[in-house]
Amino acid sequence: MSLLVLTTGGSMDKTYCGKASDFIVGNPMSSPIFEHAHVTSPVRSVEICRKDSLALTDEDRESCRLECELSTETKIIITHGTDTMWKTAHSVNESAKRQKKTVVLCGAMMPAAFAHSDSQFNLGFATAAVQMLPPGAHVVMNGEIFSDPLKIYKDYDRNIFYAGEKDRNPNE
């Protein structure tokens, strides 16, 4: 299996900046995580941007969609901030289905640099899921797979994702 990883930033890639006394989106963490786990499959990484997901624009999502379309890989992971993962999944879903490509988005509630981060688990789960799921865009978080981008919700109080019954408005 050949894997493409698109990185957009988000909590997984955040690091503490002493000058700003704040967390900033730093270098993508997916490659070091794969190296540490001794992943043997070929992995190609493309950095789309380094942003918190609330700062992602329609142009950034379009860049993700185009990169997915133009790639020779049929198994694609997008690392992403958790607040707007569903929007990016929605924007690449139809194109991925049409091209028979499986796209899995994952993120983290805590930066990969933290000892108890969920980054490594979520990226590992995404790596397994992308090999088994049908074409289209899926989100994996908290050990669950969400295959309908318009039904994905984040519970901010419990830091988990869940599938809602009502479709989201793609323009929200």
Q: Is 83 known to sit in a ligand binding site?
A: yes
Task: Read off the pTM.
Answer: 0.94
**SS3 label, residue 160:** strand
Residues in Cβ contact with 115 at an 8 Å cutoff, skipping those fewer than 6 apart: none
Please return the burial class of 105, using the count of CB atoms within 10 Å of its CB with bins 0-12, 13-18 and 19+. Answer: buried
Region class of 100: left (phi > 0), else alpha (psi between -120 and 50), else beta: left
Q: Is 52 known to sit in a ligand binding site?
A: no
In a domain, 124, yes or no: yes
Q: Is the pLDDT of residue 104 over 80?
A: yes
CATH number at residue 49: 3.40.50.1170
List the single range of 16-25, 33-42, 69-78, 80-89 with lowest mean pLDDT: 16-25
- Contact in structure between 116 and 134 (CB atoms under 8 Å): no
In a domain, 169, yes or no: no
If pLDDT is split at 50, 70 and 90, which confidence band does 168 have? confident
- Contact in structure between 16 and 23 (CB atoms under 8 Å): yes
pLDDT in tens, 6-44: 999 999 988 887 787 888 898 999 999 999 999 999 999
If pLDDT is split at 50, 70 and 90, which confidence band does 165 have? confident
In a domain, 129, yes or no: yes
CA dihedral sign of residues 4, 104, 134, 62: negative
Q: Determine the pLDDT at residue 136.
A: 98
C-beta neighbour count of 107 within 10 angstroms: 29
Q: Determine the pLDDT at residue 166.
A: 84
User: Can you give the residue range of the structural domain that contains 141?
Assistant: 3-163
Only one residue has tokens 């688990």, namely 121
List the single range of 5-19, 44-58, 144-158 with lowest mean pLDDT: 5-19
Q: Is 7 known to sit in a ligand binding site?
A: no
Q: Is the pLDDT of residue 98 over 90?
A: yes
CA dihedral sign of residues 34, 51, 139, 164: positive
In a domain, 92, yes or no: yes
Higher pLDDT, 127 or 18: 127
Q: Is the pLDDT of residue 141 over 80?
A: yes
In a domain, 127, yes or no: yes
Residues in Cβ contact with 2 at an 8 Å cutoff, skipping those fewer than 6 apart: 41, 42, 44, 72, 73, 75
User: What is the tally of structural domains in the chain?
Assistant: 1
Report the alpha-carbon angle 13-109-130, nearest 5.
75
Q: Determine the pLDDT at residue 18.
A: 79
> How far, in Å, CA of 36 to CA of 144, rounded?
23
In a domain, 172, yes or no: no
